[in-house]
Structure 1
Amino acid sequence: MFAIAVEQRQFETYILTDPSAQSSIEVVPERGGIVTSWQVGGKPILYMDTERFADPSLSIRGGIPILFPICGNLPNDTYIYNGQAYKLKQHGFARDLAWQVSARSTDDCASLTLVLESNAQTRLNYPFDFQVAFTYQLQGNRLTVQQRYTNLSQSVMPFAAGFHPYFAVADKRQLQFDLTATQLWDHITQSAQPYPGYFDYDLDQVDVAFLDFPSTSTTVRDRNQNLSLSLNYSSSFTTLVFWTVKGKDYYCLEPWTAARNAMNTGDRLIQLAPQASLDASFSLAATFG
């Protein structure tokens, strides 16, 4: 049945497996609580730049990085709160900090819970006390991330959260997206444009956001791999970002709770009451055939 193993590599790695589906995930708590690998039927679903991952001074390109307490970047990495300027680099600090393992289970699925708590370092850039708990659940061909964001402060806590999964792809032109959106925001040209139902992979970079995405699910079909990938997420995730770089064997389809610069604009920014919690879910299912 389900199993969890721990291996001491460069970083301590938790390996969750479901042998019946030949599925597994690998989680590295001290490198931002990241899922570094997900396999279904013994086949890899995620891309990972192993050289960048091995260097703690570099941001990770691969796996499923966690975005908190912002998604995207801020102008000059700066936001204003109560008249004071604070610095947060792109996507926030959760993906750079060590998370703590708080629970594990193999009862109904392979399950691992990680916790990130505020500290003196985080309060310099984000003046709130918080706890973020993620439970990774592996069952069959599905990976689910149950989340709980808790405000331990005495004031309302603004934040955005999201995921940045890197999906492996050999030929992007073989991708088909089930996206009901008709308009997108191009982060590169800073303009709204109609969504024609496909992306121009001849560009050096595609970086677009579907704002107020009208659905809490989407599907990608990779005809080259004969793979269908389904994403489902809570209604808190209002924005879906697509990003890829020319010549790289990955694409990213990212659910965010708010768009870039929400800490300054307030647009769809979550405002969590003191001592309150917000629960959310994000799941991925991979089917070959």
Structure 2
Amino acid sequence: MALQQLTSPYPHWLFTDASSGDQIRLVPERGGLLTGWCCGGTEIVYLDEARFLDPGQSIRGGAPVLFPICGNLPNDQLPLGDGRVASLKQHGFARTMPWQLSALEDGCGVRLELTHTSTTMAEFPFEFLLQLDYRLAPGALEVLLTLHNRSSQSLPFSFGLHPYFNVSDLTGIKFEGMPEQCLNHLQMAPAATAEQLQNLEQGIDLLVRPEASVSLVDIAAKQRLRMELSKPWNLAVFWTDPPRKMICMEPWTGPRQSLISGDSKLELAAGASQELQCRYVVEGL
């Protein structure tokens, strides 16, 4: 079977592509978390398994889902402009809620679904359905997000993924497709991208607005990981957590607090739907 439920090394679902043998691992009850992606026999996604198995600690690894905000808000509050206020913790609630999982009909991947509940309505007063598709293609992982607004008013949102990727070391890393300027999230101030990337071993948190794709090149592993972006899901965040041998390369629709500043803010009309797409491609050097 392409989709199997397993108990080892932790309870999860395993999807295997019939043609390539590539695999993805998912734990839907833990925020719809993708915990692994094996491509060409190599594990691409980083996961701190010991920390993951400790429910008292936050997750370090996999690909947490960020919705309906990316980053944080002042005092965790989002004014909605009509007298209402949403109360949202950093990165929103999607990464902490149970999702539903099913295999896609074409046999190429899986679909995760999350819908509003009384709990989400108390924090974010909108009815919605999120559908997150992961598809395996030759040497690639394709991601399609569809948001359905089931409310009678427009729904403001940002969306992102927070995937962790294995690297040989935090030295010997190159980046391609990066613009000259970035936003340093640690100081919420503009900065020179090349200068910031010199600090991988000290820890970085930066956002860039690339033209199209950006790549993480691991020289020792002789591997390039390219993230292909398309509007409006076209911003990229890079984050490290030394000494972990990983780099987060995250697609975001808007910077931190974009629903307040209006910078790349997305708003979905009542009854409407919107699709967002991105793609990760693994290449040898």
Farther off after superposition, 31-40 or 84-93 = 84-93
Q: 1:252 aligns with which of 244, 248, 259?
A: 248
Secondary structure in structure 2 of the residue aligned to 1:196? helix
Residue 13 (structure 2) aligns with: 14
Partner of 1:98: 98
CA offset at residue 54 of structure 1?
1.6
Deviation by residue 1:36-55 (Cα, 9 ceiling, x = unmatched): 00111211111101122223
Deviation at 1:182, TM superposition (A): 1.2
Instruction: State the secondary structure of the residue aligned to 1:101.
Output: strand
C-alpha deviation, 1:203, in angstroms: 5.7
Aligned pair 1:45/2:44, yes or no? yes
Letter in 2 for 1:100: Q
Residue of structure 2 in register with 1:160 after alignment: 158
- What does 1:50-199 correspond to in 2, within 5 Å? 50-81=49-80, 82-105=82-105, 107=107, 109=108, 111-196=109-194, 199=197
Cα distance in 2 between the residues matched to 1:180 and 1:7: 39
Question: Which is richer in strand?
Answer: 1
What is the TM-score normalised by the length of structure 1?
0.91
In the TM superposition, 1:21-32 aligns within 5 A as: 21-32=20-31
Question: Is it true that 1:205 corresponds to 2:203 in the alignment?
Answer: yes
Q: CA RMSD in A?
A: 2.0
Shift of 1:165: 0.8
| Distance (whole Å) between structure 1 residues aligned to residue 20 and residue 236 of structure 2 | 29
Q: Give CA-to-partner distance per residue, 1:161-217, whole Å, 9 cap, x none.
A: 01111011122221111124111111112321122276123663211111xx24231
Say if 2:210 and 2:236, in contact at 8 Å, map to a contact too: no
Match of 1:217?
213
Instruction: For 1:94, give the aligned amino acid.
Output: A
Could you tell me which residue of structure 1 aligns to residue 232 of structure 2? 236
TM-score normalised by structure 2 residue count: 0.92
Secondary structure at the aligned position of 1:123 is classed as helix
Matches of 1:180 and 1:95, distance apart in 2:
28
- Find the aligned partners of 1:268 and 1:198 in 2 and give their Cα distance: 23
Native 8 Å contact 2:111 2:134 kept in 1: yes
Q: Could you tell me whether the CA contact under 8 Å between 1:12 and 1:29 is conserved in 2?
A: no
